[in-house]
Amino acid sequence: MSILFSPLTLRGLTARNRLWVAPMCQYSAADGIPQEWHHMHLAQFASGGAGIVMAEATAVSAEARISPEDTGLWNDAQRDAWAPIVAAIRERGALAGVQLAHAGRKASTWSPFSGHRGSVPPDQGGWGTVAPSAVAYDGFAEPVELGAAAIDAIVRDFAAAAVRAVQAGFQVIEIHAAHGYLLHQFLSPLSNLRSDDYGGSLENRARLLLRIVDAVRDAAPDAALFVRFSASDWADGGWDVEETATVARWAAERGADFFDISSGGLVAHQRIVTGPGYQVGFAAEVRRRADVLVSAVGQITEASQAEQLLAAGDADAVMAAREWLRDPHFALRAASELGADIDYWPKQYLRARLA
């Protein structure tokens, strides 16, 4: 019996397996509105057997976007454009998820397709950025330090986006607190130099995230609620796996159901050592320390590799990214390789099923 192809139930929602699609920015939206590309991109993974399909980092306000081409959920037009995409995912048997995000000091940047790097100038469609402290990411524009009223507004933005997500049909909501974006910036002492209620101690640095967990849980009581963490800054004096586990436990006590464990992205001087499954140890440590459900991510490309890490108790699910781009039917292929008997092969593709 394959663990990878066993179901997992979260808040009354059952993912048909534990091989899921990680959120991957497409930098292809117009005014925050997802396009036909997003429909094709996401629906194919559901046809390919994914248990959960997580849509990309989706901004909770216009100012929260990583780039001008990011998707959003800050208005009803965006919600309505997401609805048929979500329906297509669900009709193909996967749970539909969305990652709600605020980029903070890493907002208003050029997309990777532009040929440019760094902040987009205001006269070319960029905007001013915000952060816990007025400390720029290397090579980016200096952000404005957030005041109390602006922090309150961001909490409201996450809650409002969560409401729209549910209205669009999303069943899973992930709060993005990783990869150097705003909530990660608050968590890490390398980017949070505040001396008020949002800085200094771990409790204070986690305050904004926990307020958002509360707000999103209240706004979407029936959704499965994920939090994505970077479990290490890969830099001296930065956020680490022990702090990640502590805050994950606090978030679970407030209603978060699951934790998506990645790493890095906060500072340009990070020193990451990569390799197959290089982040799995972080997931295992958070799972053990916090006694919470977690997914592992990071160069997980083989069915046997994914099966083995679940069997070892390192994680409860696998989030893959690039392998889904290489093969949108990764789950169907993995099931055949593992000899898992699944009943959700599309009938149109049965002729390609391996014996």
Share of the chain above pLDDT 70, in %: 100
Q: Measured in whole angstroms, how far is the alpha carbon of residue 229 from the centre of its chain?
A: 8
Q: How many CA atoms lie within 13 A of 330 on its CB side?
A: 29
Q: CA–CA separation, 202 vs 205, rounded Å?
A: 5
pLDDT confidence band for 1 (50 / 70 / 90): confident
Mean of pLDDT values over 305-334: 98
pLDDT confidence band for 186 (50 / 70 / 90): very high
Q: Which tens digit of pLDDT belongs to each residue from 18-50?
A: 999 999 999 999 999 999 999 999 999 999 999
pLDDT mean across residues, the chain: 97
Both tokens of 238, joined, read 């930065």
- Hey, how many other C-beta atoms are within 10 angstroms of the C-beta on 351? 6
Which CATH code for domain 8-352?
3.20.20.70
CB 106 within 8 A of CB 119: no
Q: CA–CA separation, 279 vs 299, rounded Å?
A: 8
Q: CA–CA separation, 163 vs 280, rounded Å?
A: 32
Residues 6+ apart with CB under 8 A from 352: none
Q: Which residue has the higher pLDDT, 263 or 352?
A: 263
pLDDT confidence band for 323 (50 / 70 / 90): very high
Mean of pLDDT values over 306-322: 98
Share of the chain above pLDDT 90, in %: 98
Q: Looking at residue 354, what is its pLDDT?
A: 74
pLDDT confidence band for 232 (50 / 70 / 90): very high
Q: Looking at residue 77, what is its pLDDT?
A: 98
Q: CA–CA separation, 344 vs 93, rounded Å?
A: 8
Mean of pLDDT values over 139-144: 97
Name the pTM for this structure.
0.98
Mean of pLDDT values over 227-246: 98
Both tokens of 71, joined, read 């998707």
DSSP secondary structure letters along 60-75: SSGGG-SSTT--B-SS
Q: Which tens digit of pLDDT belongs to each residue from 190-226?
A: 999 999 999 999 999 999 999 999 999 999 999 999 9
Q: How many CA atoms lie within 13 A of 219 on its CB side?
A: 23
Q: Among 306, 315, 314, which Cα is nearest to 338's?
A: 306
Q: Give, for 139, the enclosing helix (H) or strand (E).
A: none
Q: CA–CA separation, 336 vs 210, rounded Å?
A: 41
Query: Is 198 one of the catalytic residues?
Result: no
Q: Among 178, 162, 182, which Cα is nearest to 79's?
A: 162
Catalytic residue among 27, 181, 198, 344: 181
Q: Measured in whole angstroms, how far is the alpha carbon of residue 309 from the centre of its chain?
A: 21
SS3 144: strand
Length of the chain: 355
Q: Which tens digit of pLDDT belongs to each residue from 77-121?
A: 999 999 999 999 999 999 999 999 999 999 999 999 999 999 999
Where do the structural domains in the chain lie, given as residue ranges? 8-352
Q: Which tens digit of pLDDT belongs to each residue from 243-302?
A: 999 999 999 999 999 999 999 999 999 999 999 999 999 999 999 999 999 999 999 999
355 has a pLDDT exceeding 80: no
Q: CA–CA separation, 42 vs 48, rounded Å?
A: 10
